[in-house]
Amino acid sequence: MSSLAQFFTSWASTIQSSYGVNPWIFIVIYLATLPFTWWLFFLIVFSLKDKKYSKAGYFIVLELILLALPYLYLLIYMQNIHWLIRVAVVILIFWSFVSLRKRLLRKQNDWDDIAKDYDSISNISKAHKEKIGYVSELATKNSPKTILDLGCGSGVIEKKLDEMGYRGEVTSLDSSEEMLKIAKKHSYKNFKPNFIYQDLNAQLPFREEKFDSIIMVNVLFCLRDQKSFLESVNKLLTTDGSFVLVNPKPIPTTANFFSEHFKGLNLVGKIREIGRVIINIPGLIHLLVFQNKLDSQEKNKDSYDYKDKDELATLLKGAGLLVEKVEEIQANQNWLFYCKKA
Ligand SMILES: C[S@@+](CC[C@H](N)C(=O)[O-])C[C@H]1O[C@@H](n2cnc3c(N)ncnc32)[C@H](O)[C@@H]1O
């Protein structure tokens, strides 16, 4: 027998004796996925080399799914495994594929297509929740009577302000109908936010010095003329008004995001969170695919522009704002600037 045949026979008998499954099915799945895992490996390396981080993230997720496939077969057919676990794994795999297929068949061209998944991930991610809590605290520090939320998305800030018992006037702008629809669905106890459809690339329909506090979380990078936009923000602020700006870093650090999510949890908490992450895998992949598509599409139009700390600080100062505080937030993925009208 050739040494290659010997290698496969001995590998097969190890699989058979350890797991009691048909070893050849495992080996066929393993070998069938092998070329694709190497191909993806090179795609990941080249994307990282070209600094295309969202693309690399998307390939990493695909790589992990491919690597897991042979082991999912083991999990379903392995001896001594409770039938309930088998059924759960089969249902999970089936549901994930159906759910992901449904999402990916949508056109994915703008924020409308991603609104539901964006909202779910924002509501389960510890880093997002901490960020929203912190931004809301800073924005209400000086007891503002009027707040403007620029690019409010699905209304996570508005919900937090309501939970905190804020009772002033909140105006919230966004150019995604779907995001606004989700935001309007919440029932607010302490105030009624005024959600308005508004493209922030167009002129804002407000008089000068109208708002005591302005918030902008992860939206500035979407805008064409960030410099003049910040100048209008300054004009909209009242004399002692404050502006909280959060923007994604040009190079995301996803590793911290996951480690922070599980930090400080006991075993039960960790298991619960792993379950929530698994259930949200189709949504997470959808976000990655969307971001990847949107980034490349918008970059062609020279529009999406992730500025780093120094550039943002220069823009803010140039717009007449006084930067009082700069911090890394959301598991080191975002910059936060707390500014006052100079
Ligand atoms: C990353 S989400 C952030 C949403 C929200 N601020 C949050 O933190 O959950 C970006 C939001 O910016 C909105 N957006 C992007 N470009 C916009 C534009 N030109 N005018 C108004 N909103 C815009 C999108 O619709 C989306 O809701």
pLDDT per position as a tens digit, 82-125: 888 878 878 887 777 777 776 666 665 578 888 888 898 888 88
CA 176 to ligand 1: nearest atom: 25
Ligand 1 touching residue 114 (CB < 6 A): no
- pLDDT at res. 223: 92
CA 14 to chain centre: 42
Which pLDDT band, with edges at 50, 70 and 90, does 168 fall under?
very high
- The Å distance, Cα 153 to ligand 1 centre, comes to 5
In whole angstroms, give the CA distance from residue 86 to residue 91.
Answer: 9
Q: Whose CA is nearest to atom 5 of ligand 1?
A: 153
Give, as one character, the DSSP assignment of residue 342.
-
C-alpha of 236 from chain center: 29
| Phi and psi torsions of 249, nearest 5° | -70, 150
Ligand 1 centre and the CA of 115: distance in Å? 10
Averaged pLDDT for residues 320-331: 92
- The percentage of residues in the chain with a pLDDT greater than 70, rounded to a whole number, is 90
Task: Give 157 or 298, the one with higher predicted confidence.
Answer: 157
Decide whether any atom of ligand 1 lies within 6 Å of the 204 Cβ: no
Asked whether 176 lines ligand 1 (CB < 6 A), one says yes
pLDDT of 303 over the 70 cut: no
Nearest residue CA, atom 14 of ligand 1?
Answer: 151
182 lines ligand 1 (CB under 6 A): no
Q: Is the CB of 212 under 6 A from ligand 1?
A: no
Q: Is the CB–ligand 1 distance for residue 217 below 6 Å?
A: yes
Please write the tens of the pLDDT for every residue from 264-293.
Answer: 777 777 777 777 777 777 777 777 777 776
| Residue 331 Cα to ligand 1 middle (Å) | 20
User: Which atom belonging to ligand 1 lies closest to the Cα atom of 112?
Assistant: 25
Work out the end-to-end distance of the chain between its first and last CA atoms, rounded to an integer number of angstroms: 82
Residues in the chain: 342
Q: Residue 319: CB within 6 Å of ligand 1?
A: no
To test the pocket of ligand 1, the residue of 113, 175, 233, 294 to mutate (highest count of ligand atoms within 8 Å of its CB) is 175
Which regions of the chain carry the CATH code 3.40.50.150? Answer: 117-255+283-341
Closest residue by CA, ligand 1 atom 10: 219
Question: CA torsion sign, 91 to 93 to 98 to 99?
Answer: positive
Q: Is the CB of 54 under 6 A from ligand 1?
A: no
Look at residue 253 and tell me whether its pLDDT is greater than 80: no
The atom of ligand 1 lying closest to the CA of 153 is 27
Contacts of 272 (CB under 8 A, 6+ apart): none
Give the H/E segment covering residue 257: helix 254-262
**Dihedrals phi, psi of 170, to nearest 5 degrees:** -120, 125
Distance CA 123, CA 153 (A): 12
Burial of 59 (0-12, 13-18, 19+ CB in 10 A): buried
Give pLDDT tens digits for 204-216.
Answer: 999 999 999 999 9
In this structure, the number of other CB atoms found within 10 A of the CB of residue 21 comes to 17
Residue 153 CB less than 6 A away from ligand 1: yes
For ligand 1, say whether the CB of 144 is within 6 Å of any of its atoms: no
> Using a 6 Å cutoff on CB, does residue 115 contact ligand 1?
no
Among the atoms of ligand 1, which is closest to the Cα of residue 110? Answer: 25
Asked if the model's pLDDT at residue 217 lies above 80, the reply is: yes
pLDDT value of position 162? 97
Place 4 in a pLDDT band, splitting at 50, 70 and 90: confident
- Does the CB atom of residue 155 touch ligand 1 within 6 A? no
Q: Is the CB of 229 under 6 A from ligand 1?
A: no
CATH says 117-255+283-341 is which class? alpha beta
Q: Which pLDDT score is estimated for 54?
A: 66
- Give the pTM: 0.74
| Backbone region of residue 277 per phi and psi (left: phi > 0; alpha: psi in -120 to 50; beta: other values) | alpha
